[in-house]
Chain A
């Protein structure tokens, strides 16, 4: 499989594949069912270019409500890039060009009338490194609802902060020190604070980009437990390098390779009997 490890990104697609890479299914042909019932996101033929680099190639997938979708794949496979398409975070990169259709609840997120700030409230994001604002714990959570005008008065705002921290499993640990800086918390607590901040604006989807890679196993377990609770109310997409984590937390798994969505399917099946050889090789640790 050595040839798969080389030439990961920059070669033009046509005719430039290494023999082993020809195992990739025809362009845009993903193994598995990309459609789901109760879809909130529908992505059709999504392509992303960073300048000359073709980072995402004809990705078609739907994302269901009340489910965790795990996106896995080797570094540079495009999984984070794809995640960032879902709330138009790629807009912030000048060289990035996104084509294809992405609809959230039937609305095209690239529509000219789409307010990007509003979109990012509906599609929240949690990053690899906890990034609380340099403000108090209370203000970290209250900031979003305040700018989006979700609370009429202080009592309502208090209620949102309380509920969000509670749902993020952090309330009991911080209720007596809401005025302290968010940065004074431990790494795992900071990450849960970021999750509280995300859910405070009442999103429909939560995107998580390796949310546990900077956390210890206990903090990781708490976040994973939280994801299971949160999926009762939201759709969750998580990018993770830990296949064990993907297997633990998700109901569906998508495997990316060199910008292609190779395979998507029920997590139960992907980790016991994947259909595509590249998926098999990656999850069994044969490359990647």
Chain B
């Protein structure tokens, strides 16, 4: 159940067996054991997709802040994998509904996993936008962030990836407390986003020649803030699954 790309950074992952010991909801324990497998596979694949999206977001922030075209290209190339996950999980969800007719928490889980996947796919799209800023720039347009703007992007990116990681962790363990924490911390991202926008706008006022870069930076920050929103929505779906 480890999230791809998270092994070294996230807190130790609780297995599904642990979640039962903690009284957390389970996707297993059906009389028809094959149903356990179908539902768990669906969940695992969504968590894997989450790991990939998280990695994409981290890479995209670094490619913008450190201005590394190779990394931006990698983000763009891996976008196809996210689309593939999206399609595969959608197909799996349909199969589970058609074959198993899930009810109650199972039904909520299938429904919510589908929504989580949509959120992850959109977060992936935002990461792609960052990568495209790096890839489509030329020397004349001046999208490359200066030291201060790069620092702002890194800072907001750090908050957003923390939030996304925490949301995915809560989703992996179906942990309502962890999901609630993500929701509470969302305000911090909003505050940081507003402050960042003010700072970069001030820079544009100080030196109008920076206007292209500042506008592009504002879009980048907006993308990051949206990724934070998607993380928050993932956390909401966790609460929906556990019935809060």
A residues in contact (CB < 8 Å) with B: 1, 243-244, 247, 271-274, 279-281, 283-288
Contact = CB atoms under 8 A, between A and B. Distances in A.
Contacts of B78: none
A271 B31 contact: no
A276 to B, nearest CB: 11
A274 B103 CA distance: 10
**Residue among B29, B35, B100 facing the most chain A CB atoms (10 A cut-off):** B29
Interface in B144-159: none
A273 B103 contact: no
Interface stretch (B56-64, B104-112, B216-224): B104-112
Contact of B31 (A272, A279, A286): A286
A273 B108 contact: yes
If over half of A's interface residues share one DSSP class (helix, strand or loop), that class is named, otherwise mixed; here it is: loop
A272 B29 contact: no
24 contacts: A1-B29, A243-B103, A244-B101, A247-B103, A271-B104, A271-B107, A272-B103, A272-B104, A272-B107, A272-B108, A273-B104, A279-B104, A280-B104, A280-B105, A283-B103, A283-B104, A284-B103, A284-B105, A285-B30, A285-B32, A286-B30, A286-B31, A287-B31, A288-B31
Interface of B: 29-32, 35, 100-108, 243
Contacts of A274: 104
Nearest to A247: B103
Contacts of B30: 284-286
B104 A284 contact: yes
Contacts of B103: 243, 247, 271-272, 283-285
A286 B39 CA distance: 13
Given A271-B104, A284-B104, A285-B106, 9 more contacts: A1-B29, A243-B103, A247-B103, A271-B103, A271-B107, A272-B103, A273-B108, A284-B103, A284-B106
Contacts of B101: 244
